[in-house]
Amino acid sequence: MGGRQSKTAVVGVPQTSLVKTDGKAERRKKFRSWRSAAPALDGNSINDAWRFAGNGKRIHNLKNSKLLAPLVDEEAERLRRQHRLYKRIWQNNFSAPVEEKLKSGGARVLDVGCGPGTWTIEMSEAYPLSSFIGVDFMPIFPQEKPENAKFIQANILDGLPFLDDTFDFVHMRLLVTAFTTTEWEQKVIPEIIRVTRQGGWVEFMESDIQYCNEGPTTARLTNSLMTIMKSKGFVTPINSYVPQSMEANEKFIKGIQTEEKSCFVGHWARELGQMAVDDITKGWSAVKSPMSTLMKVKSHEYDETVAIFAKEVEQYRTFFKTWRFFGQKAVTTSLSSSISTPSKWNEQEQQQEQQQ
Ligand SMILES: C[S@@+](CC[C@H](N)C(=O)[O-])C[C@H]1O[C@@H](n2cnc3c(N)ncnc32)[C@H](O)[C@@H]1O
């Protein structure tokens, strides 16, 4: 799984003689074009990634997207708040053993499906000597960012616009529900591991769709969501599927690590529980369209169901689990592992391009 085929041109074939076309040249070209064609990052520019709904709200316009929560601005705000919730739950931004590398500087970090870039920005501020790139196919990137952070619009399913073995740490959070199992195994994991440098780390963070101590309304909502997810071919159950699929990729060193946290939901669990119930009720509202269709309820009835959920969690003392899965890319060649400083990064890219 995940092997990239190499093609070698044969002598006698017109236009090129003995040119190795292993895909790197194409990727470099694509990378360059991405860099020059990178969209403005102000989030206000005209962009065909979204269109306007009748009520003036922006809605994403991505034809191959399976996103369940399409409203651009509301979703960006929800994700910013959700970042604060997960920071509270985990008390940090990652689990992989990369802190020293990030601190000492020169590390390159990629955040795949970065959304509004809250994680990327916070990390770039915490580790100013390292470089951070957030990619998302919806350009809802922040207007202001530190110099060591940048954002690029890209769809991982079309391939990431980076060379092989580029990043010391690749992070992806809350995206498993964006991909089918086939996409996850054949595109997402291979693409992430391709751009990770040998010896670098990959980390995924995901949360359970199913709650513990579910009341009847919670069960009704989660069962409906599971039905939608299954119909779209999404990955379930996340906590066994993700580490197994990482383990199955021969480019990871064996022994994928998992960390688990539980988060109580509801005011009964004080401030964190309150943050969780706020986040989850907004999440339920964000997926109102497919959920109310499946549940065969009108818009206001769905809102009432979500309101009952918010009360029910207090009675049942509901909680959910969240996980981090992380693993290291195996070293298979004697590639130089020297990582340049961020200021040398562009220089290094130019040298690589000149060597073409
Ligand atoms: C639930 S949000 C998580 C955002 C961010 N990782 C966080 O934790 O705040 C999922 C994000 O993945 C992005 N996304 C989904 N499918 C994608 C794809 N194929 N390529 C790039 N981004 C994608 C969405 O646009 C959305 O911003």
CA 295 – ligand 1 centroid, Å: 26
Residue nearest to atom 11 of ligand 1 (CA): 113
The per-residue pLDDT for 20 is 36
Q: Does the beta carbon of 79 lie inside 6 Å of ligand 1?
A: yes
Nearest atom within ligand 1 for CA of residue 156: 20
Instruction: Choose the residue to mutate in 84, 111, 140, 175 for probing ligand 1, maximizing ligand atoms within 8 Å of C-beta.
Output: 175
Q: Where are the domains of the chain?
A: 27-208+236-258+325-354
Residue nearest to atom 14 of ligand 1 (CA): 113
- The DSSP secondary structure of 288-353, one letter per residue, reads HHHHHHHHT--HHHHHHHHHHHHHHHHHHT-EEEEEEEEEEBPP-S--------HHHHHHHHHHHH
The per-residue pLDDT for 18 is 29
Q: What is the pLDDT of residues 163-176, one digit of tens each?
A: 999 999 999 999 98
CA 113 – ligand 1 centroid, Å: 3
Return the beta strands (E) in the chain as ranges.
7-8, 20-21, 50-52, 58-60, 108-112, 131-136, 149-153, 167-173, 196-207, 257-264, 319-328
Would the pLDDT of 65 be above 90?
Answer: no
Give the range among 25-29, 33-37, 157-161 with minimum mean pLDDT. Answer: 33-37
CA 296 – ligand 1 centroid, Å: 28
The per-residue pLDDT for 51 is 54
Q: Is the peptide bond before 70 cis (omega within 30 degrees of 0)?
A: no
Residue nearest to atom 12 of ligand 1 (CA): 113
Q: What is the pLDDT of residues 248-273, one digit of tens each?
A: 999 999 999 999 999 999 999 999 99
Q: Does the beta carbon of 142 lie inside 6 Å of ligand 1?
A: no
CA distance 116 to 114: 6
Return mean pLDDT, the chain: 81
CA 335 – ligand 1 centroid, Å: 31
Nearest atom within ligand 1 for CA of residue 76: 27
Would the pLDDT of 118 be above 80?
Answer: yes
Instruction: Single out the residue of 66, 82, 54 nearest to residue 137, CA to CA.
Output: 66
For residue 112, list its beta bridge partners: 135, 172
Q: Does the beta carbon of 157 lie inside 6 Å of ligand 1?
A: yes
- Do the beta carbons of residue 102 and residue 109 sit within 8 Å? yes
> In whole angstroms, how large is the CA radius of gyration of the chain?
22
Phi, psi of 187 (to 5 degrees): -120, -55
Q: Does the beta carbon of 178 lie inside 6 Å of ligand 1?
A: yes
CA distance 158 to 63: 13
Would the pLDDT of 61 be above 80?
Answer: no
CA 172 – ligand 1 centroid, Å: 8
CA distance 267 to 81: 17
92 or 54: whose pLDDT is higher?
A: 92
Write the DSSP symbol of residue 5.
Answer: P
Q: Is 122 left (phi over 0), alpha (psi -120 to 50) or beta?
A: alpha
Confidence of residue 76 (pLDDT cuts 50, 70, 90): confident
- Do the beta carbons of residue 95 and residue 157 sit within 8 Å? no
Q: Does the beta carbon of 175 lie inside 6 Å of ligand 1?
A: yes
Q: What is the pLDDT of residues 274-288, one digit of tens each?
A: 999 999 999 999 899
Instruction: Single out the residue of 123, 122, 93, 94 nearest to residue 108, CA to CA.
Output: 123
Phi, psi of 5 (to 5 degrees): -80, 140
The CATH classification of domain 27-208+236-258+325-354, taken from the options 3.90.1580.10, 3.20.20.370, 3.40.630.30, 3.40.50.150: 3.40.50.150
The per-residue pLDDT for 355 is 53
Burial state string for 48-67 with b = 16 or more CB within 10 A and e = fewer than 16? ebbeeeeeeebbbeeeeeee
CA 191 – ligand 1 centroid, Å: 15
Nearest atom within ligand 1 for CA of residue 80: 9
Q: Does the beta carbon of 197 lie inside 6 Å of ligand 1?
A: no
Q: Helix (H, G, I), strand (E, B), or coil: what is residue 49?
A: coil
Residue nearest to atom 20 of ligand 1 (CA): 155
